Amino acid sequence: MTFSITRRRLLIGSAAGLGAISLTGCDDVAQNAKVQAVLEMAETLTMKSQRLLVPRDRLAREFSEADISPIFRSNGTSQPDGEDYARMMETGFAEWRLKIDGLVEHPVELSLADLKRLPSRTQITRHDCVEGWSAIGKWTGVPLGLILQSAGMRPGARYAVFYCADQLEQTIDGSGTYYESVDLIDAFHPQTILAYQLNGKDLDVAHGAPLRLRVERHLGYKHAKYLMRIEIKDSFASLWGGKGGFWEDRGYEWYAGI
């Protein structure tokens, strides 16, 4: 983290010619529209530079069983509100379905049993939350790339958007729904999995039951819990705040690479 913040400043300094502007603790600077635009451009540059510096297929570090944290905190929603989720919970998610649609050749709906029949990957990785905590856990799930490959990408496909069962804010237009997105490079990354187990047990409700995203080279908020639907899109600009995620719509970076 420290390294990437330092590198980020450095890259903004050189690539965007902004000199020594710091991105932290400058509320008055961030409120200026012009500066905001430059910062957004700088974010794009950061992403592009990171793509140049870090090979596309770089793997996140994996740990051993002995490194697994005795307690893995839960953060954000610990149980989605509403009767729909409660009903699914009661039946052990037997009625839950993951919908995959958008720019795909074959839209599909998969049950938990369907997902568990597919080839799986298990990985012990570190989760880093922007709020300043980390935990190491063992995740098991289906590589997202495998599912997307069998669904077939249609021309124009660029992003996978993840819609969750929980709402962090009650709004009429649904903009309080937790959602996230990644580009197809991250979607097809070998460590990007749809996880149904944590530390060898079925995912509990606090950690995103029945299914959550693990996208290991990104910060915690990208790891969408309570997955309901994955939509393949050419752009996420028309979705709610237009920034590609619940927290991104409220100012977090879309490319949360670590």
Ligand X SMILES: Nc1nc2c(c(=O)[nH]1)N[C@H]1C(S)=C(S)[C@@H](COP(=O)(O)O)O[C@H]1N2
Provide the binding-site residues for ligand X, judged by CB under 6 A.
73-77, 129, 164, 166, 168, 178, 206-208, 220-221, 223-226
Selected from 129, 146, 205, 258, the binder of Mo ion by CB under 5 A is 129
Residue 145's SS3 state is helix
Nearer to ligand X, 143 or 220 (CB): 220
Residues 17-31, buried b or exposed e (16+ Cβ, 10 A)? ebeeeebeeeeeeee
Selected from 143, 220, 244, 245, the binder of Mo ion by CB under 5 A is 220
CA dist., res. 166 & res. 26, Å (int): 32
> By CB neighbour count within 10 A (0-12 exposed, 13-18 middle, 19+ buried), where does 113 fall?
exposed
141 binds Mo ion (CB under 5 A): no
Residue whose C-beta lies closest to ligand X:
76
Nearer to ligand X, 23 or 205 (CB): 205
Tokens of 18: 């902004």
DSSP string computed for 187-255 = HTSTTEEEEEEETTEEPPGGGTTT-EEEETTB-GGGS--SEEEEEEES--TTSTTSSSSTTGGGT--S-
Partner whose binding site includes residue 214, from ligand X, Mo ion, none (CB under 5 to 8 Å by kind): none
Query: What is the nearest approach in angstroms of Mo ion to the Cβ of residue 40?
Result: 22
CA dist., res. 83 & res. 65, Å (int): 37
Nearer to Mo ion, 223 or 233 (CB): 223
CA dist., res. 116 & res. 119, Å (int): 8
- Angle (deg, nearest 10), helices 2-15 and 33-53: 110
Partner whose binding site includes residue 166, from Mo ion, ligand X, none (CB under 5 to 8 Å by kind): ligand X
Query: What is the nearest approach in angstroms of ligand X to the Cβ of residue 202?
Result: 14
Tokens of 146: 């495998």
Partner whose binding site includes residue 197, from ligand X, Mo ion, none (CB under 5 to 8 Å by kind): none
Site string for Mo ion, 181-210 (x = CB under 5 A): ------------------------------
Site string for Mo ion, 61-100 (x = CB under 5 A): --------------x-------------------------
Query: Residues in the site for Mo ion, rule: CB under 5 A?
Result: 75, 129, 220-221
